[in-house]
């Protein structure tokens, strides 16, 4: 393996895995909450929230990255405050994780929301008439039924995070060992003469991870459908 990939490339793969795992793990609870709110609650601003969640899907990634920089940069209105408590995101791997999380969020929320909408709300009503408080209805009825949907959403988000480039490079730049993720590394290799070989190997890895994630997520989606039908 060491011969096949240069240490720099290998480092980029490892960093991408770390960044993507953190991006998904940290945004999953919020993703479930937002998906539940969009699927089940009617409130003023429902459409606005829905639009906001989907914005990173349609905005040019460089715009998202720039907005992140304005907000979470050391001079940004959130970044300034975070700086005081010792958290710096700009030009760090944590910032790359934030950028990946924001970009992957719409995919995650969509998958989870679809599985929540497939759960019959009348089952939740039945649970409440049996004495279950709302939180317990969610934990004992809704959550077990949508678990495969959540996993599918997480996997899809992970794959998207692995491939995130535009917002990441705008927000945290392309610093080897710090913020150089797999796509940034491919870009960097392509910039230097003779880097095509290393780039091609990284491209293969990227394709393999993406395909595996898509298959896994597809399989889990089918599982959630079977489970809700009780088979």
Partner 1 sequence: MLSVALRHAFPGFTLDAGFEAPAGLTALFGQSGSGKTTVVNAVAGLLRPQSGRIAVGDTVLTDSGRGIFLPPHRRGIGYVFQEARLFPHLTVRQNLLYGHWFTGRGRQPDLPRVVEMLGIGPLLPRRPAALSGGERQRVALGRAILSHPRMLLMDEPLAALDQPRKEEILPYLERLRDHAGLPILYVSHSPAEVARLATTVVLLDRGRVTAAGPVAAMLSDPAIAPLLGLSETGAILAARVEAQEADGLTRLSTPSGPLFLPRVKADVGAMLRLRILAQDVMIATAAPQGISALNVVPVQVRDLTPTGDGVLVRLDAGDQVILSRITARSAAALNLRPGLAVHAVLKAVSVAPGTIGVSAG
- Contact residues toward partner 1 (CB under 8 A) are 120, 122-123, 125-134, 136-137, 140-141, 144-145, 227-231
Give the three-class secondary structure for 119: coil
45 burial type by CB count under 10 A (0-12 exposed, 13-18 middle, 19+ buried): exposed
Cα distance between the two ends of the chain? 43
The least distance separating partner 1 from the CB of residue 132, rounded to whole angstroms, comes to 5
The least distance separating partner 1 from the CB of residue 222, rounded to whole angstroms, comes to 15
CA–CA dist 57, 173 (Å, integer)? 21
The least distance separating partner 1 from the CB of residue 155, rounded to whole angstroms, comes to 21
The least distance separating partner 1 from the CB of residue 123, rounded to whole angstroms, comes to 6
- For residue 155, the number of C-alpha atoms closer than 13 Å in the C-beta half-sphere is 19
CA–CA dist 129, 171 (Å, integer)? 50
Q: Give the nearer residue to partner 1 in terms of CB position, either 75 or 226.
A: 226
Q: Give the nearer residue to partner 1 in terms of CB position, either 42 or 122.
A: 122
Q: Give the nearer residue to partner 1 in terms of CB position, either 136 or 215.
A: 136
Q: Give the nearer residue to partner 1 in terms of CB position, either 131 or 193.
A: 131
């Amino acid at each position: 393996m060491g011969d096949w990939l240069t240490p720099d490339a290998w480092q980029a793969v490892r960093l991408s895995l770390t960044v993507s795992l953190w991006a998904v793990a940290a945004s999953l609870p919020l993703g479930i909450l937002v998906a539940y709110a969009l699927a089940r609650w009617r409130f003023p601003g429902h459409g606005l929230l829905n639009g906001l969640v989907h914005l990173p899907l349609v905005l040019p990634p460089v715009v998202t990255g720039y907005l992140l920089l304005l907000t979470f940069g050391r001079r940004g209105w959130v970044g300034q405050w975070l700086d005081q408590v010792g958290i710096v995101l700009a030009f760090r791997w944590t910032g790359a994780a934030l950028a990946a999380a924001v970009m992957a969020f719409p995919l995650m929320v969509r998958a989870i929301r679809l599985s929540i909408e497939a759960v019959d709300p009348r089952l939740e009503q039945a649970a409440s008439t049996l004495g279950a408080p709302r939180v317990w209805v969610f934990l004992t009825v809704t959550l077990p039924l949508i678990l495969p949907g959540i996993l599918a959403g997480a996997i899809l988000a992970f794959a998207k995070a692995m491939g995130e480039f535009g917002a990441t490079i705008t927000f945290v730049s392309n610093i080897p060992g710090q913020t150089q993720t797999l796509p940034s590394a491919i870009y960097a290799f392509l910039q230097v003469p003779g880097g095509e070989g290393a780039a091609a190997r990284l491209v293969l890895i990227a394709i393999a991870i993406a395909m595996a994630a898509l298959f896994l997520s597809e399989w889990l989606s089918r599982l959630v459908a079977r489970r809700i039908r009780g088979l």
